[in-house]
A and B are shown apart, each in its own frame.
Chain A
Amino acid sequence: MIMRPIEKKLVILLLIISLSSLTVTAGDLFWGGYVRNYTGVLTGGDNELSILQNTMNLELSSRRQNVSFHVNPYIYQYSDRDIELGLREAYLDIYFDNFDLRLGRQQIIYGKAEGVFITDVVSPKDMREFLLPDFEEIRMGITAAKINYYLGGNTFELVWTPVFTPTREAEEGSIWRPSLEFPAPVNFDMSEKEVSPKVKNSEIFFRYSSLGSLMDIEVVGGYFWDDDPAMHIIRHIDHDSGELHGLTATPRHHRLYMAGGSFSLPVSSFVLRGEAAYYNGKRFQTADPASENGLVTKNYVHYMAGIDYSVLGWNISAQFIQEYITDYDESIRLDEFESTMTILARKDYLREKLWIELFSYIGLNNGDALLRPSVSYELSDGFEILGGANLFLGNKGRFGQFSNNDMVYTKIRYSF
C-alpha cells in the first residue's frame, strides 16, 4: 500500500506519536525493527547504481488479555525516487478458546515451497525488483478478515478479502520491467485494470493444516482474482492493405479457482516436501488469429517436489517445479510444460557469525538461471553486513531476460 502525500504525513504523525508514547507505555508495547542500507551496482556498462535504498522497518505490537494489535510501517528512501512510506501489516487479533480472529492488513502465506509461489496466492507480490528483495518484502499485505479454528493439532482457516490487491509490477523504464513483444505499435488502455471494491468482487480462501509425527499436511483452496492481469489485444488492420498497423492492449484481471495442498515428510535425515495446485480459468496469450482478444482460457497445474538435507555442515534444499497447461494448443505463447529448479546451499562459520549462501533458480526450458551467492557477517548481535551478487545467465526466459542486470550489492542492517 503506497500512500498519497496527506497519508504520508498522517503516517509520520502516527509514528512520532507511537514512538513518543513508548516512554510512558513501554511496559505494554513491544517495538522493534531494523534500519538497513542496500546498495547495488550493475556489473555491466557504466556500472550504474541499480539501487541505493535506505530502509526503516518498524514493528509495534501490544497484547492485553485476549486482544492484541500489530503494526508494521516501513520507510524506503531512494537516491532517485520519492520517499516511500507504507504499512506492510496493521491488524487486530482477538483470541478465543478454540479460534482466533485477525482483522486488518496482513500477510498470509500458504504452502511449503521456498522461493516459488504455488498455493501461496493470498498475499500478492511486489515485483518492482523482480525476485530479489527479501520474501517478507516481496509479499504485500492485504486487507482481510481471517478466522482460525483449532481442533487439537489441526487448524482450519477461512480468509475473506473485501478489496483486491494486484501484483505490483515494475514501472515503465525500470530495468526489472519484463520485456513485452508486440508485432505492431501498441497503445495501452488501462481503463479496465481496476477491480472495484464491491462485495461481489471480494476473494475467499480456506486452509486446513496439521503438524503430525508422520508428516505435516496442508490443504488449500480459493476463489480469487488473478493477481497478474491478462492482456486483451485488439488488432487494428488497414482495410485497404490488410496489414496490421497497430494494437490496443487492455490489461484486465480475471477470476480464478484454485485447489491444492502441500506436505512435509521427514524420512531419516531428509525432509521431503511437495506442493501442488490446480487452477481453473487462467488466461494465456495466444498467437491464434481466431482467438478472442489474443487470449485463450485454460486450466493449469503447478507443482513442486523438494528435499532438504545436511551434508558436511551445509544445509541443502533442492526443488523441482513444473507448470503444466492442460488441453494445450501450439499457439499458446508459453510452453506446455515449464520446468524450474531451485537450489539453496547454506553454511555457517564462526558460531553463526559468518554465513555463506548460494541460492539459484534454474530455468530448464530456456537454459537460463539466476545465481545469488552471498556472504554475511554479524559484526555484533543484530548488526550484520552482507555482500552478494545477482547473476543472470542465458538471454531469454524468466531469468535470462534480465541478462544485462548482473549486479553486486551490499546490505548493512541493524536490528533493534
Chain B
Amino acid sequence: MDTLYEIKTRVITFIEKNDMYVKPVARFILLLMAYLMVYMNLSYFPKLHNIFIPLILAVACAILPMGLSAVILGFYIAANLYGLGLEVMGVFLILMILAYLLYFRFSRENGSLVVLSPVLNFIGIPYTLPIATGLTTTPGASVSVLMGTIIFYFLKGIKANEEALLASEDALKTTKLHIAIEQVLVNKEMWLIIFAFFFTNVVVYVIRRLAIKEAWKIAIAAGGVIQLLIILIGKLVLGNPYGILALILGSIISVGLCFVFQFMVFDLDYQRIERVQFEDDNYYYYVRAVPKVLVAAKEKHVKTFNETKAKREEEVEREIARELDIDPKNLK
C-alpha cells in the first residue's frame, strides 16, 4: 500500500510541477483519439480524407478551451457527414444546436465530457463515466455525458446504415432524413443506456455524500452493479441479447478504473500552480503560488455520535484557521 501512496504522491507532484503542459497534452491525446475515430469510421467526404487534417485540428484544439474544441470537433464530424447527404449533416447540426440551447447555456465547463463520452463508448468502457462524474460533480454534469452518448449512438446508427444512405439517390431525400432522425428518436438501446447512465449517476452521487465509512468505495460498487443490472435487464426486455459479454467485461473494467480514479482523486483538493500579477502603491508583484503537495493521503474519519457538536467544533477550528491564515487541516 505504501508504494501505491508513493506512486500517487509522485504523480500528483509531477502534475503540479508541470501543470502548464499536462493539461494541453491530456487534451491533445483525448482530441486526437476523437478525431482519429471520426477519420477512420466516418470519412464520407473525400476532400477531408487526409490524415493531416485531424492531426492539425487536434494540435490546434489542445490549446483552446474544451467547449470550443468540442464545437470544432462537431463541425468536423458534420463536414464528414455531408458526404452522406445534406440531410444527415443537417440532423447532426440540429442535435448540436439542441445540446447548446438546452444545456450548454448553463454550464460550459463540461465540454471534455461530451468528447470523452463517445470516445469511451467506442473503446467499450463508457460505464466509467456515470460513476466517475457521480463521484466528482453534481448530477447536472452527467447531462454532458448523456449528450456525448446520444452523439455516439447517432453516429453508430449512421455508420450501420451507411449503405442505405449512400445508395439512396437525390430523389429519396426523405428516406435519408428519415433514417437520420430515426437514429435518435427510435433508438431504444440508446434510451436504455441514457436512463441507466443517469440513474447510476444519481445513485453514486447520493451514496458518496452519505456520512458513512468508505462512502466512495460503496458508491462505486453500488453504481457498477446497478448500471450493469439495468442495462442487462433492459437488453433482455428489448430482445437484444447481443454484446452481453462485452457489457459485463466493460463494466468490470470500468469499475476497476473507477477505483483507481477514486484512489488518485479522493481527498485531493485539486489545486494548481497559479501565476498572478498585481500591484499596490509601491510595488509590482509577479507571484507564482505553488500549492503544498499532499504527502500522505489523509484518512476520512466520520464521527456520528454527536453530529452537531462535531460540526460546531469543526466550525470553530475553521474560524481559528481563517484568523491565523493557515490550513485548517494543520490544526487536527
Are A and B physically bound partners? no
Q: Which residues of A contact B (CB under 8 A)?
A: none
